Amino acid sequence: MNHPLEAPLPATLAGMIDRLDQQRRSGRRETGDAAGSLPTRRYTDPAHWQREQAALFGQWPVVAAHSSELPAGSALAFDALGVPIVLTRSAEDGRARAFFNVCRHRGMALVAAGAGSEPAQAKPCKALVCPYHAWTYELDGRLRHRLHAETFDGIDPAMLNLVELPCDETAGLIFVQRTPGPAISAAAFLQGLDEHLQWLGLAGMTVFRKVDRTYAANWKLTADAFLEGYHIRVLHRDTIYPFFADAFVVNLHAGPHQDSLVARRAAFEAFEPPRDRVALCKLASPTQLLFPNTFLIWHPDYVSLIGMFSPAVDQVRWVHTMLIPPERSGADWTPHWEKTFRLIEQTVFQQEDIGTAVAIQRGLASGANTTMQLGRLEHEVLRFHRGIDAAIDGTLLPFSAAPTESSSAPPSAAP
Ligand code: FES
Ligand SMILES: [Fe+2]
């Protein structure tokens, strides 16, 4: 695992820090080229939702867990993509793998999913034993044992290994694709952002708390809220705005993914080029979008890993994993993290960002507006939606070798 001080500062991240310094010195915000608009139907139309399901959630690698959630010799159910999946890590080779969580005998789930809003947790195990008739599988998916095997005349056990799904791990994240296919490379998928995550030390973090809840809003409404700093001054006026500069953001594109530095007031007070994560997070909150549905938000001393899943056109399944540095995971730190968790998850995210998304969903369903208007401070929202359209029409693929953009002014015409 990479320690933040051991990984070299990536040139792309250094460039972002320079741009933050320039904005601070000049007092000029980076904006898009042009305002734009979005049809509201894309948040309410079941046909559009079906296309997203098939093209995005069906075909793209998606973050299923932080690496620390899956210790060696364990299995973890993951069902947020709408099909039962189990992640395993065998003690022998330490590799993370994914399979359909479906027994090859008669289809029972091998590992129980989380119940209600209680997120699933990894179960220590040497093998997967089906709770129905005890067919047993190695953690690499091979069928090891069938009870009364002699009664399955002529059925070749080699044909009954678990159905594997593409899965790979990099920089502390486990990626899964819900449709079987060839092996994937998570590092190739991230197009350089894995180096940013390594420098920030994501792999070395550990879980403090995880929430898994479903709200009545299209998943893109919560995503939109993390793609612009324009709302922080108003929506978060009494919570986090006191720490942030008003809409000073640096964005870097890596294919459809994005890294941003959302400037904090401290950057305008005293700016020293940061040498490590802690120093950088005092000046700005690094925020990554791992297209299509994962966000990482680097607060001053902890990280929010958020998956926004889409069980229905008007629902978002919000999976927020709060990650902390292991040296602060002792019992004496618990009150600090409990208080932090209440502020960020319950107040800032649930009441403010998600509460807004739910209100917007109701507003859009009313038919009052047929378009949304977006200004040049919201250009990344437009770009995100263009990415979704391109993924749906097949011009954007998860492993297309799109060059990394570094322009401060991406095209922002309406889709
Ligand atoms: S369904 Fe799994 S052993 Fe029968
Ligand atoms: Fe927000």
Cβ–ligand 1 distance for 339 under 6 Å, the answer no
Report the alpha-carbon distance of residue 233 to residue 222 in Å, rounded. Answer: 17
Cβ–ligand 1 distance for 110 under 6 Å, the answer no
Report the alpha-carbon distance of residue 399 to residue 290 in Å, rounded. Answer: 13
Looking at domain 11-59+191-392, its CATH superfamily turns out to be Naphthalene 1,2-dioxygenase Alpha Subunit; Chain A, domain 1 (3.90.380.10)
Cβ–ligand 1 distance for 108 under 6 Å, the answer yes
Residue 310 pairs in a beta bridge with none
Residue partners of 119: CB distance under 8 A and separation at least 6: 210, 211, 212, 319
Share of the chain above pLDDT 90, in %: 92
Q: Which residue owns the Cα nearest ligand 1 atom 4?
A: 133
Cβ–ligand 1 distance for 152 under 6 Å, the answer no
Q: Which of 390, 391, 381, 388 is nearest to 412 (CA)?
A: 381
Residue partners of 415: CB distance under 8 A and separation at least 6: 36, 38, 382, 385, 386, 389
| 68 alpha carbon – ligand 1 mean position (Å) | 30
* Number of the ligand 1 atom closest to the C-alpha atom of 107: 1
- Locus of tokens 């049809």: 39
Fold of 62-183: Rieske Iron-sulfur Protein (2.102.10)
Cβ–ligand 1 distance for 203 under 6 Å, the answer no
Tens digit of each residue's pLDDT (9 = 90 or more) over 89-119: 999 999 999 999 999 999 999 999 887 778 9
| 202 alpha carbon – ligand 1 mean position (Å) | 38
**Stretch(es) of the chain classified as CATH 3.90.380.10:** 11-59+191-392
- From first to last of its 415 residues, what are the pLDDT tens digits of the chain? 444 456 889 999 999 999 999 999 999 999 999 999 999 999 999 999 999 999 999 999 999 999 999 999 999 999 999 999 999 999 999 999 999 999 999 999 999 988 777 899 999 999 999 999 999 999 999 999 999 999 999 899 999 999 999 999 999 999 999 999 999 999 999 999 999 999 999 999 999 999 999 999 999 999 999 999 999 999 999 999 999 999 999 999 999 999 999 999 999 999 999 999 999 999 999 999 999 999 999 999 999 999 999 999 999 999 999 999 999 999 999 999 999 999 999 999 999 999 999 999 999 999 999 999 999 999 999 999 999 999 999 999 999 754 444 433 333 333 3
121 touches 78 (CB < 8 A): no
| 305 alpha carbon – ligand 2 mean position (Å) | 15
* Number of the ligand 1 atom closest to the C-alpha atom of 134: 3
Residue partners of 201: CB distance under 8 A and separation at least 6: 2, 3, 4, 7, 277, 325
* Number of the ligand 1 atom closest to the C-alpha atom of 103: 2
**Stretch(es) of the chain classified as CATH 2.102.10.10:** 62-183
**Using CA of residue 295, residue 297, residue 302, residue 308, what is the dihedral sign?**
negative
User: Rounded to 10 degrees, what is the CA torsion of 245, 248, 253, 258?
Assistant: 30
Tens digit of each residue's pLDDT (9 = 90 or more) over 245-302: 999 999 999 999 999 999 999 999 999 999 999 999 999 999 999 999 999 999 999 9
